[in-house]
Amino acid sequence: MTFTPLSQAPWRRTVSPVPGLPSGWTSPASLPARVEAWRRWLAGRPGGQWLLCQRYPGEFCAALVALWESGRVAVLPADDRPETLARLANEVEGTLPDAPDVPAAADHGIQAPLALTPSSTAVVLYTSGSTGDPVRLAKRFDQLDAELAAHAKLWPLAGTAVISQVSHQHIYGLLAGILHPLCAGAPFCGDASRYPEVLAARLEEAGGAGLKPVVVSSPAQLSRLPDHLPWTERSAPCRVFSSGAPLAAPHARHAERLLHAPVVEIYGSTETGGIARRRQTRSSTWQPLPGVRLSFEGERLLLRSAFLDTPDAWWQQPDRVAPAANGFALLGRADRLVKIAGKRVSLVHIERTLADAPEVIEARCVDLDRSDGRLGAVVALSREAIPHRHESRRDLIQRLRARLSKHLEQVAIPRYWRFVDALPSNPQGKLDRDLIKRLFADLDDTRAPRWLGERRPGADSCTLTLEVPERLAYLEGHFEDYPLVPGVVMVQWAIELARENFGQLGDFQGLERLKFQRPLQPGIRFTLELLRREDGIAFTFESGEGRHCAGRVRLQSRDGTGASHG
Amino acid sequence: MSETHDDLSIELKQLIIETLELEDVAPGDIDPDAPLFGEGLGLDSIDALELGLALQKRFGIKLDAEAEETRRHFSNLNALKALVEARRAD
């Protein structure tokens, strides 16, 4: 079937049903009946803007078309959190239900479908701004149609069936997973397709119906494709899209090998729509989409396209780029926004939400560049709120998570927490990269205590604030039901941290006045006081429970001198 | 009593903690009947994908295309344990 723009109502074409596709798929022939059901539900209700948050792509598409053909505007919340929906409900005429509960006979008073005006608003989308406040973006039909035409030119859908693994409440999933197949008359599905097992089944279903599958995906899914599923060449997609965040090169290769298909990444944003595309296994350079003009100012990317709200003005993209032949390389975000599982997350927003908690003084949220993409949080607490044990730390984390979950999607909530009495800072007063690395070093080094800060009252003394990580390697198999840090490990920590703070101190000569007074258990926050002495160091482990261990270590350099000062 | 101290329960708790890097969770914190996702342990959609991969690697378990069924297997530790007992390949 040929491509028809939205403004020419492609859903009103006469189509024949696609035989052989099971339920779970939406075919162009099944759509009109659902659109009519939604039109009946809307009849007699107020016009204007309606909130549309619908899990199933077929119902979503039918409701969307019914809103359009009755002269209404669809407002698409970015997530389905109750707080999000409640906040937006105040800005719209009403919220569409999960299903249109109207008897089939009640069809009196329905207006004939209205023709769509290219210059009128089709949808309102939400994304996160750099301050954390949601940004509201209206898209006209002419903007959507311009971008859909670019998709149709590069990636025609004739003879295909589209499987989406991403949310259609966002611009990429809306265009690639719903609107393009709608305009091309191709069957589509989504929802549970985000699971790899379901994707494999849907690929087979499309192949069985004589259609070539197209997969609309994201790095969250493609980086976690299991290799044991029956990814056959027979049911291979003709194309796999990825968007939301850059796909790591090894993941691009992995996905191409497993799915037997080219993986095409689309770079863009809610504000701009699509900007560029690449197939990373061929070239890492991003090439502009048809109709997109680029300009560079240093590391800044400027662009113009018919997908923008004002097509004849240059738009400045808040990503840093390096120009390259026929395109550019992406260097990273210029503001404090990160992408987690393809969702734009404002670190400032998380920090402000945390700072609203009564016990929190200030918070820093950090992208740890870990392969799991999870965030870390460094939180300065009032003295009495500092957790000293596993249980209180866990309770505090659960309280803070609960607070964040009212405003953020689950995946955006920090996974790694560091509680301090004041944010550590370098001589310039900044919590820099090195300090952040130190705060989270125990994630990769399961033999180290968790570092949470230190004081240096003089050249020969140092007090470190530390925690026993629950996953400390030394805890394993020591005592199954009563895990504790072995005494020898405490002594080893004292020596290692003394070397870090005082420099090379010489070789181990012996222990003196060693006393173990209390077991040190996982989750305990403690201080390690280190004193440099003529012949080595003195150390004391203390926590809110009292003294755990103290002693002296004799250390001597090979040339016979002790741990001499200076 | 719902508390389980058998080897498979402990192994699964450790698998969850290690795979998902739940640094603030000790094996004893995972209530075998409490939800793993959403309100309970607070796991999310990305964790579900990671956990699916880990089960395949450790036990050779292949999940079905029935998304609802998958969700039921992951609902709590005891359900997960039942899945592993029924389907483990080794």
Cβ of residue B89 closer than 8 Å to a chain A Cβ: no
The CATH architecture to which A447-566 belongs is Roll (3.10)
Q: How many angstroms separate the CA atoms of A254 and A241, rounded?
A: 14
Which amino acid is located at A108 in the chain? H
φ/ψ (deg, to 5) at A124: -115, 125
Give pLDDT, residue A272. 95
Q: Which residues of chain A have pLDDT under 50?
A: 566
CB < 8 Å from B in window 515-534 of A: 522-523
Query: pLDDT (tens digit, 9 = 90+) per residue, A395-451?
Result: 999 999 999 998 888 889 999 999 998 888 877 777 888 899 999 999 999 899 999
Could you give the count of Cα atoms lying within 13 Å of A464 in the half-sphere of its Cβ?
24
Q: Do B23 and A469 touch (CB under 8 A)?
A: yes
The pLDDT of B21-41, averaged and rounded, is 86
Hey, are the CB atoms on A229 and B64 less than 8 Å from each other? no
Residue of A81, A163, A231, A410 best to disrupt the B interface, most CBs of B under 10 A: A410
Identify the band that residue B6 occupies on the pLDDT scale cut at 50, 70 and 90. confident
| Closest-CA residue of chain A to B39 | A402
Look at residue B2 in the predicted model and tell me its pLDDT: 42
> What is the helix (H) or strand (E) element at residue A239, kind and residue range?
strand A239-243
B11 and chain A: CB distance < 8 Å anywhere?
no
pLDDT at position A341 is: 81
pLDDT of residue A8: 95
pTM for this structure?
0.75
pLDDT category of residue B1 using cuts at 50, 70 and 90: very low
Please indicate if any CB of chain A lies within 8 Å of the CB of B67: yes
CA–CA separation, A227 and A254 (whole Å): 9
How far out from the chain centre does Cα A249 lie?
18
DSSP string, A378-408: EEEE-GGG---SHHHHHHHHHHHHHHHHTTS
Question: Are the CB atoms for A557 and A502 separated by under 8 Å?
Answer: no
Task: Give the pLDDT score at A369.
Answer: 83
List, by residue range, all CATH 3.30.300.30 domains of chain A.
341-439
Q: Does any CB of chain A come closer than 8 Å to the CB of residue B45?
A: yes
Domains and CATH numbers, chain B: 7-24+31-87 (1.10.1200.10)
Q: Would you say residue B46 has pLDDT above 60?
A: yes
If 0-12 CB within 10 Å is exposed, 13-18 middle and 19+ buried, where does residue A209 land? middle
With respect to CATH, is domain A341-439 assigned 3.30.300.30? yes
List the 375-414 stretch of A: residues with Cβ below 8 A of B: 390, 393-394, 397-398, 401, 405, 409-411, 413
